[in-house]
Amino acid sequence: MIEILETGGLASVQDLGRFAAFRWGLGTAGVMDPPALRAANLLLGNPEGAAAIEIQLFPFAVRFEADLDFALTGADCAATLDGAPLLPWSAGSARAGQLLRLDLPRDGARAGCRACLGLRGGIDVPIVLGSRSTQLRGSVGGFEGRHLRPGDRLPVGPEPEAPTLRASIVPPALALPLEVDGLPAVRALPAAEHDAFTAASGAAFWNEPWRITPQSDRYGYRLAGPVLEPETPLELRSHGIVPGVVQVPHGGQPIVQMRDGQPSGGYPKIATVIEADLWRLGQMPIGTRFRFLEVDWEEALAATAELESWLVRLRRVTSLLRARRIG
């Protein structure tokens, strides 16, 4: 068990997401930074998809009620255990009664904005409709289907056989940087209504920087930039959409669908951020200026393979370290 002592709000239990519940009207939910969750769980010897806490407002503090290993990945939040500093993207061991505290993410181009706190054994909340992720609308999964509050006590599952590793992981933001004209970038495929926008709007979408406005969260990122206009006003029939879809409402300012986004849309879609780059967006704080980079299907697959090979290397290294009993 761990107890939440302090939270700035909006912290939640998430795993990789709920991937077969669109048919009932549920989106995927799940962590905004899946590589960070996988890395935390690989360090801890957990299954890669074990549930963890995603933290997006700080400070955040928990107390361990029993001896327990933990791992911190995602944003580097100057974490401390009873005041002693901890390395980012690594695992630690807490004694019963110790206090783990996360503060505001450090500044820096690749600092990130969401931290992942994994626990050895994973957070043991019930699997609902295929996942432990918190689905806020409808109050499904996670811890009572809601954000965490001070006083909440979270159970952990049985310890895995593999030992915890005392290694640090090079985060994907450093291993797989992606910039365009000095700005962070995400790759996207044109979507169904891309060519229904004016040529000037299409060019602006791909060539101008976009700013993440304060009205951005796990549901969606509302962007500010040039006004995007379709050739003629479009009213579409409602259809399924997935995280990463970039819709353009009548106001002309795009909204990127994120993990808590609803599973359907009706605004024209200009593009979709590819799944392999959604973590990049998930770690961009409000106020970030970034670029969309247009890719075709082959380039999107290459990006997917690039992230996958980072993960394969990580799996290989962690199993090698365990084989040498360095853990």
- Name the residues that contact other proteins, by CB under 8 A: 19-20, 22-26, 128-129, 135, 137-138, 140, 188-189, 191-192, 219, 235-245, 249-251, 262-264, 266-267, 269, 272-276, 297, 300-301, 304
Q: How far is the CB of 238 from other proteins (least distance, A)?
A: 5
User: Least distance from C-beta 24 to other proteins, angstroms?
Assistant: 5
CA distance 317 to 327: 12
- Which residues are bridge partners to 61 per DSSP? 6, 101
- Report the run of H or E that residue 280 belongs to, with start and end: helix 278-282
Nearer to other proteins, 4 or 278 (CB): 278
Q: How far is the CB of 191 from other proteins (least distance, A)?
A: 6
Nearest to other proteins of 85, 297 (CB atom): 297
265 Cβ neighbours under 8 A, 6+ residues apart: 236, 238, 239, 241, 245, 247, 257
Nearest approach, Cβ of 38 to other proteins (angstroms)?
Answer: 16
Give the amino acid at 206. Answer: W
CB of 138 to other proteins, least distance (A): 4
Q: How far apart are the C-alpha atoms of 37 and 117, rounded to whole Å?
A: 8
At closest approach, how far in Å is the CB of 221 from other proteins?
Answer: 14
CA distance 91 to 87: 8
Cα–Cα distance measured from residue 68 to residue 221, given in angstroms and rounded to the nearest whole number: 35
Nearest to 100 by CA among 76, 119, 80: 80
Closest CA to 117 of 19, 205, 13: 13
What DSSP assignment string belongs to 193-217?
TGGGB-HHHHHHHHHS-EEE-SS-S
The separation between the first and the last C-alpha atoms of the chain, rounded to the nearest angstrom, is 23
Cβ proximity to other proteins, 63 vs 187, nearer residue: 187
Question: Rounded to whole angstroms, how far apart are CA atoms 190 and 296?
Answer: 8
Using the minimum distance from each CB to other proteins, give the nearer residue, 60 or 205. Answer: 205
Given a contact cutoff of 8 angstroms between Cβ atoms, the answer to whether 224 and 287 are in contact is: no
Closer by beta carbon to other proteins, 3 or else 193: 193
Give the nearest distance from C-beta 210 to other proteins in angstroms. 17
Nearer to other proteins, 31 or 140 (CB): 140
**Choice between 81 and 281, CB closer to other proteins:** 281
Answer for the pair 26, 138: CB distance below 8 angstroms, yes or no. yes
Q: Which is nearer to other proteins, 92 or 190 (CB)?
A: 190
In sign, the C-alpha dihedral spanning 165, 147, 157, 311 is negative
